[in-house]
Amino acid sequence: MNPKKYTKITTHSLQEMKKNGEKIAMLTAYDYSFAKLLDTANIDIILVGDSASNVMAGHETTLPITLDEMIYHAKSVIKGINRCLVVVDLPFGSYQGNSKKALESSIRIMKESGAHAVKLEGGAEVEDSIKRIIDSGVPVMGHLGLTPQSIYKFGTYTVRAKQNEEVEKLKSDIIKLEKAGCFAVVLEKIPAKLAAEITKSVNIPIIGIGAGSQVDGQVLVMHDMLGMNMTFNPRFLRRYSNLSDIVNKAVSNYISDVKNNLFPNSEEEYD
Ligand code: KIV
């Protein structure tokens, strides 16, 4: 396929991509330097994910990260981009159960970071919040399937929607999210056949992570796909680099050069 050239990605570009059968490429980023690299490579969407809680702050789950911390990451990402759409996760505790709180948190993200949209996890439970946020003019991306903010309810990070009851809830939730006005939805770790069926059943783009190839786009956590964490090995993950090895070699060489007085050399010093 010959993809259309977009100088700026908007929520409308993504809907157009779905219509034209062009796949959407999304990655997470949390800082200025990586956002700049990803945007320069023409990524369509940067997600300032609450996975920052794991990969940036070292927490075991996504639950501890705060709204202030998410805004800090989003601000840095926004400074690094020109073309892509930047979506920011509403962190755990900043929207659940109260649409007024959800709206206030979304407005803080948009106003203080300059991001273009927010993402939140859940279906029927957050429908009112989604409508209220969208009514205020803020685009919302949904997130169904494995929703890591509910890890203590699920108990494990295994594949979701294997049982009928959960499949039916997922199908009903996706319709609710589309009707509420979500511009796209992330489907995480569900059977590929179900993801394909859901993708065909809606007009909004479905972005998969561990949801097979028959969806409208893919998302991965940047640290995972660049091979910065070699202990995380889910089946859905493809590593496109081995940064942990590359960084280890570079740092070891630097240490060796410093210890052996090989760095700096005469060309690397001032007269
Ligand atoms: O926070 C995150 O990185 C995410 C992606 C896994 C979709 O929500």
List, for residues 110-123, the tens digit of each pLDDT value.
Answer: 999 999 999 999 99
Dihedral pair phi/psi, residue 10, rounded to 5°? -120, 175
**Candidate list 69, 104, 188, 197, residue with the active-site label:** 188
Q: What is the DSSP letter of 145?
A: E
Span 105-113, average pLDDT: 98
Flag whether pLDDT at 97 surpasses 90.
Answer: no
Both tokens of 21, joined, read: 């059968």
| 170 and 252 assigned to the same domain | no
Beta strands in 120-229 (DSSP E): 140-145, 184-188, 206-209, 217-220
In a domain, 1, yes or no: no
User: Residue 218 in 3-state DSSP?
Assistant: strand
> How far, in Å, from the CA of 5 to the mean position of ligand 1?
26
- Concerning whether 188 is annotated as a catalytic residue, the answer is yes
In percent, the amount of the chain with pLDDT more than 90 equals 97
Picking from 229, 168, 177, 173, the residue whose alpha carbon sits closest to that of residue 203 is: 177
Q: Is the pTM of this model over 0.85?
A: yes
Virtual CA dihedral for 32, 35, 41, 45, nearest 10 degrees?
Answer: -150
Query: Please, what is the average pLDDT of the chain?
Result: 97
| 216 and 188 assigned to the same domain | yes
| Cβ(187)–Cβ(208) below 8 Å | yes
Span 32-51, average pLDDT: 98
Distance of CA 30 to the CA centre of its chain: 10
Tell me which of 63, 73, 186 to substitute to probe ligand 1's pocket, judged by most ligand atoms within 8 Å of the beta carbon: 186
Q: Which domain holds residue 84?
A: 11-240
Flag whether pLDDT at 195 surpasses 90.
Answer: yes
Both tokens of 107, joined, read: 């407005």
Number of domains in the chain: 2
| 173 and 253 assigned to the same domain | no
**Atom 4 of ligand 1 has which residue's CA nearest to it?**
49
| 196 and 252 assigned to the same domain | no
**Stated length of the chain:** 271
